[in-house]
Structure 1
Amino acid sequence: MAVRQDQARGIGEETVAFTRAARELELAPREFELAVQLGEVRTVAVGPGARRRVAREEIERHRSAEGFPKALRTRLWVVGTAEGAELMGISPARFARLARGGCFAPVRFYVNRYRAVVWYYLASDLVEFADGNPELLTGRTPALLTEALEKHPDRRARGWRARRLDQLVAQAQDPWERAAVPAAVLDPVELAQAVPDPGERACLSALRPVLARARPEATAAREVIGELVIAQDRDEIDWHRHCLTAALTRARADRPAPAAARLPLAVPPPVASPPVVPPPVAGERPATPSAPGPERAGPRGLWARLLGRT
């Protein structure tokens, strides 16, 4: 799904804060957060601090759309492994293989009390994948997917990082902010090799976007998230270094790196803390961290609803 963000606008245009926008769009906080990240709800940068808000016309665009608010909330519906497998009509084991193989990327996660990362996916992504790849839903696992899993046993974090970086690049306001996005997933050693100049590294660190937050008291979650946001595989690292080099070339052509001490404090879009929750009781369906999706009507009925079929 393409991320759509407007350019910075003047303060004279009527805009509202995120909290009010979420209320008028009838979205729960985490639904609204996801809507902003995905570009479903476009935001504008307002004022000297470039704080992001929502234009009144954007709210009216959604409120006047057919099927509001259910259609909007359906596009933001996230599911876990069990519900995703049921939606696609496959076993949880096959769903997990497809997810680990990178067939579809997670859109969010949380860290449970056992430091395990629990991934969630857009229901619309799963429907689109299943509709276009029916041969992967039955029979033996294709050789290409098996080989991919042997090379990279789990691409879920990698897919989430790629998706999150696309969102942050779309939200960046100038070339140095855009360069700070790929820099955010490189560890200090890789970053120092990619950016030898200490002044430029300080600038990139000051502009570093937040990929995911953890509550201050959630020490275990912070450690897991700290590892999850950093690129791991050599080919992924090399790709982000390539993106950083290209972004730095454009940023240097625009202007020298501003001194970190003179940079304005970044005001990133709100990212709710991944909740640390206990595991579900045996036999119960785990609750998703977002609001519930549409009423259940079996896989075929739900596919038709999500795809807009009759």
Structure 2
Amino acid sequence: MSGDTITHEAAATAAQPTGKHETPFTQSRAARELGLRRSEFDLAVHLGHIRTLPDEGGGGRRVARTEIERLRAQKGFPEALRERVTAVGTAGATKVMEVTAARFTRLARLGLVVPVHFYLNRYRAVVWLYLTDELKDFASDAKNTDLLNRSLPGNLREQLEAGVDLRPRNWRGRHLGFLLRRAEDPWERAAAVASLLDPFQVSDIVGDPYERAHLNRFRQLPPAHGAPASPAARLAERITTAQDADEIEWLRADLARAVDEARNHCPAPRPAPRPARPEHPAGAERPRGLLGRFFGRST
């Protein structure tokens, strides 16, 4: 996904017949059926515009053919669907909102517009992306006229001077909402919360190793950015992991509550206990070892 608005031709595909063709589509095939690039499709799923199903064969999530038909039947398809997932970077946002890049960056750092995605460019700089529809709504709201055209209020300027930047935290909040929408099990909901905490925090809250292992089965990590332990990977980890003390405490409390609910719903699996070795009563003959078989004595 680039920082500018993406436009392209929709793929023209015929509706699939029923009967033996009811097998759900893979996500790549579903994207082609809807005329979306894969990045656009992923964002549509992230935002809840496209419903997916778990693959019973364990091959990732799929899209039912009825869901494809539902989307195709919507007014304005496919342009309307594509517009809902169009995201732009700072350069595109300044055009949409008709403000300078400096003004837009200040609004974003203050959390007044919320990023929907990010990536690292080849210079390891963070590129934040924003939904065009949300930018249009912000710019068209009369309550925001002064924020777009006048000097910012003193309290906002003080926050900027203090170095406030709510973009990473706001992205994390949005990402958590996405994970919670997809969660179909109490352990998955707990894992969604755990995904924003570092492993030490999770270990502190979930002390039982079997519960922690079960939780990690459902934990979904964001896509990798660069090789493990590389500067790019460390930067991405700082963005995707809670950093502020109050945010960490809030997530810790949520994780403890979610794990407790999951534990009550269905305890984490544990290995079966090893059977106890039989004891021999006093005076009973002990089983003879290999040497005892030949020399008539126990070994």
TM-score normalised by the chain length of structure 2 = 0.76
Q: Show the counterpart of 1:90.
A: 99
Are residues 1:249 and 2:260 paired? yes
Residues 267-304 of structure 1: per-residue CA shift (max 9 Å, x gap): xxxxxxxxxxxxxxxxxxxxxxxxxxxxxxxxxxxxxx
Match of 1:27 in 2: 36
Alignment of structure 1 residues 72-83 onto 2, 5 Å: 72-83=81-92
CA distance in 2, matches of 1:144, 1:13: 57
Provide Cα deviations, 1:132-188, integer angstroms capped at 9, x if missing partner: 322321211123433444566111111111111110111112101110111111123
Alignment match, 1:269: none
Pairwise CA distance, 1:71 = 0.9
User: Following TM superposition, by how much is the alpha carbon of 1:204 offset from its aligned partner in structure 2, in angstroms?
Assistant: 2.1
Question: Does structure 1 residue 177 correspond to structure 2 residue 188?
Answer: yes
Q: Structure 1 residues 197, 110: CA separation in 2 closer, same or farther (over 3 Å shift)?
A: same
- Aligned ranges for residues 118-137 of structure 1 at < 5 Å? 118-132=127-141, 133-137=144-148
Q: Decide which structure has the larger Cα Rg and report it.
A: 2
Shift of 1:198: 2.7
Unaligned runs of 5+ in 2: 1-20, 272-299
Query: Displacement of 1:215 after TM fit?
Result: 5.4
Aligned partner of residue 184 in structure 2, secondary structure: coil
Using the size of structure 1 for normalisation, the TM-score is 0.74
More displaced stretch, 70-79 vs 212-221: 212-221
Q: Calculate percent identity across the aligned residue pairs.
A: 47
Distance in 1, matches of 2:125 and 2:270, equals 39
Task: Identify which of structures 1 and 2 has the higher relative contact order when contacts are C-alpha pairs closer than 8 Å and 6+ apart.
Answer: 1
Aligned equivalents of 2:118, 2:228: Cα separation in 1: 18
Asked whether the equivalents of residues 120 and 225 of structure 2 are also in contact (C-alpha less than 8 Å), the reply is: no
Q: Secondary structure at the match of 1:45?
A: coil
**1:1-310 to 2 correspondence within 5 Å?**
14-47=23-56, 49=58, 51-132=60-141, 133-149=144-160, 153-214=164-225, 216=227, 219-259=230-270
Aligned residue pairs, count: 249
| Alpha-carbon distance between aligned partners in 2 of 1:234 and 1:120, rounded to the nearest angstrom | 26
| Deviation of the 1:225 alpha carbon | 1.6
Equivalent-residue separation in structure 2 for 1:259 and 1:215 (angstroms): 36
CA RMSD in angstroms comes to: 2.3
| Change beyond 3 A, Cα 1:119–1:95 | same
Unaligned runs of 5+ in 1: 1-11, 261-310
